Amino acid sequence: MSLSAHEFQFVSSLVRREASIVLEPGKEYLVEARLLPLARKAGLASVTEFLLRAQSPSGRQDRDSIVDALTTNETSWFRDREPFTAMTELVIPNVVKSRGPSRHLRVWSAASSSGQEPYTLAILLKENLPPGWTYEILGTDISTEMLARAERGRYSQLEVNRGLPAPLLVKHFTRAGAEWEVAAPIKKAVSFKRLNLAAPFPPMPAFDVVFLRNVLIYFDVETKRGVLKRIRNLLKPDGWLFLGAAETTMGIDDGFERVVTGRTSAYRPRTGISAPVGVTGKG
């Protein structure tokens, strides 16, 4: 049974208010599919019963679960490949050259979901930074459930099969029963915290690289503008921002310059920055 207009309005308003995510009409099937497991877990007969309970004064936990369920995005290891190729071939050589005195790299995975992206970045840096370099990666997400999974760092065989090359699996993971666990050196480099990208950010240090992939597509233009401005303020003057393939700063935040690298693009703070010769694309 599909959601009523009233039920969809409640859910879309809740998610808009709590996470600034826009659910347009036509997404009723998606909402119902995401909420049905919550209803079953609560021992209720239908999504309608679950939503009635969520709307009650004592339904705060149910409302939080709804937001979690509808802000959980698809993820995998080395997702889309090209941004990680750009990290290896362009970003890391540039950063190594400019950060020689500190020999330290700070990266932010701004929508880390269940942890595959920040751990991928940790593996990539472990494999490609010169000896003597250190790095730290912050993974943030609005979903407390996903953050708990990410911190645990354990994945099923099916999950590690999604994009993780076998040599890297053997090298950077250990068997944990039927699962694979991220090895201690990689896990130690990654920390996680809850953060709502659409709200003011807490104090954070400046980052060399920010991955904000496949998130902006869920926001309206004003929310996108605010998110990009706050991230730009946290990027080092010669830092790098990676967005999803369907996302751009163009027409939203003119404080970024687009850098074309291979089959993908990255973005850098515009003021006083010149991208490497042959790869600049004004945006």
65-105 tens-digit pLDDT: 888 777 766 677 888 788 999 999 999 999 888 887 888 99
Q: pLDDT-based confidence at 278, cuts 50/70/90?
A: very low
Mean pLDDT of the 158-187 span: 92
The class that CATH gives domain 82-269 is alpha beta
Mean pLDDT of the 183-206 span: 93
Give percent of the chain above pLDDT 90.
46
**pLDDT tens digits, 116-152:** 999 999 999 999 999 999 999 999 998 888 899 999 9
**pLDDT tens digits, 209-235:** 999 998 888 888 999 999 999 999 999
59, pLDDT greater than 50: yes
As a whole number of angstroms, the distance between CA 149 and CA 117 comes to: 13
5-70 architecture in CATH? Orthogonal Bundle (1.10)
Got the DSSP string for 1-64?
-PPPHHHHHHHHHHHHHHH-----TT-HHHHHHHHHHHHHHTT-S-HHHHHHHHTSTT-HHHHH
| Whole-number pLDDT of residue 74 | 65
Residue 33: exposed, middle, or buried by beta-carbon count in 10 A (0-12, 13-18, 19+)?
A: exposed
Output the pTM of the full model: 0.79
| Whole-number pLDDT of residue 185 | 94
Domain spans, the chain = 5-70, 82-269
